[in-house]
């Protein structure tokens, strides 16, 4: 069953010179997959994620998420769709500093007026999975970057979304925290059967996924699948990036 269907997506930015950021990109993601999007700087990977997440509109094509077309919804229903069908994890965490960790995590449920009993059950499950039960009463400035990203992930999965979207989720973390956070993503993917789509420039981060889609110049360049051997998959990712061309800095 496909949770996400991307069909011939085009994105053209108007200006003195029109710029085609995406040029007919198509792929599907099945329920329970953990997929990364990679490509050189300016390849269109973040634009693609923004279109899928409904942050940005596209010029042509079609995006279907959990059998719905979110870009055809009005503002109120689109906001509801985002809260109930999508989870978001960002590089800079996007936590609300005036709220406690607990209040940050349950914010999507609060906005949807979910019953307190259901809220407490989901909060317990998410925080236990992420190992942050002891942080609930703390403020965001009292916790580390790695802990903050765990809180952001807990908030993203609290609504049990059909699709979890992550934009460079390890970009602000040290190497130890990167490994910890990626192992959490794998755990969420396997234990909750959560479908995850992540943009990253880091081949090590991508090696935790089951599939990597490569974008170049707004086009689908290639995709590779993991055979459950992370070291071998990392090597395949590095080989593909080398064929894409450019130095390491181009994949930031």
| Tens-digit pLDDT profile for residues 137-164 | 999 889 988 898 889 999 999 998 999 9
Domains of the chain, residue spans: 33-58+74-246
Q: Provide CATH code, domain 33-58+74-246.
A: 3.40.50.300
What's the rounded mean pLDDT across residues 245-250? Answer: 50
Looking at residues 105-120, what average pLDDT do you find?
90
Q: How confident is the model at residue 209 (pLDDT cuts 50, 70, 90)?
A: very high
pLDDT value at position 240?
Answer: 93
Percent of the chain with pLDDT over 70: 97
Residue 19 CB coordination number (10 Å): 11
Instruction: Look at strands 163-167 and 86-90 and give their pairing.
Output: parallel
Q: Closest Cα partner for 61 from 12, 1, 16?
A: 12
Cα-flanking dihedrals φ and ψ of residue 175, to 5°?
-60, -35
**pLDDT over threshold 90, residue 50:** yes
d(CA 56, CA 217) in angstroms, rounded, equals 18
Look at residue 248 in the predicted model and tell me its pLDDT. Answer: 46
Query: How many angstroms separate the CA atoms of 24 and 215, rounded?
Result: 11
Question: Of the ranges 24-33, 57-66, 94-103, 206-215, which one carries the lowest mean pLDDT score?
Answer: 94-103
**Residue 101: strand, helix, or coil:** helix
Residue 2 CA to residue 40 CA, distance in Å, equals: 27
What's the mean per-residue pLDDT of the chain?
91
Provide mean pLDDT across the span 131-138.
Answer: 93
């Amino acid at each position: 069953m496909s949770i996400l269907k991307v069909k011939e997506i085009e994105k053209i930015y108007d200006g003195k010179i029109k710029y085609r950021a995406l040029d007919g990109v198509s792929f599907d993601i099945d329920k329970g997959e953990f997929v990364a999007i990679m490509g050189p700087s300016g390849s269109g990977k973040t634009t693609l994620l923004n279109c899928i997440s409904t942050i940005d509109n596209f010029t042509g094509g079609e995006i279907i998420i959990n059998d719905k077309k979110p870009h055809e919804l009005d503002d109120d229903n689109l906001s509801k769709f985002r809260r109930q069908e999508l989870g978001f994890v960002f590089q800079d965490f996007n936590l609300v500093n005036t709220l406690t960790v607990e209040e940050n995590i349950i914010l999507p449920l609060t906005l949807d007026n979910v019953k307190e009993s259901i809220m407490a059950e989901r909060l317990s499950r998410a925080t236990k999975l992420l190992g942050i039960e002891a942080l609930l009463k703390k403020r965001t400035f009292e916790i580390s970057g790695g802990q903050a990203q765990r809180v952001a992930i807990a908030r993203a999965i609290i609504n049990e979304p059909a699709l979890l979207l992550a934009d460079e989720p390890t970009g602000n973390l040290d190497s130890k925290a990167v490994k910890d956070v990626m192992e959490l993503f794998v755990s969420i993917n396997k234990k909750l059967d959560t479908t995850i789509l992540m943009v990253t420039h880091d081949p090590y981060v991508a090696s935790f996924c089951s599939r990597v889609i490569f974008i170049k110049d707004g086009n689908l360049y290639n995709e590779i699948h993991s055979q459950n051997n992370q070291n071998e998959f990392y090597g395949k990712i590095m080989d593909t990036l080398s064929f894409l061309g450019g130095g390491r800095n181009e994949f930031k």
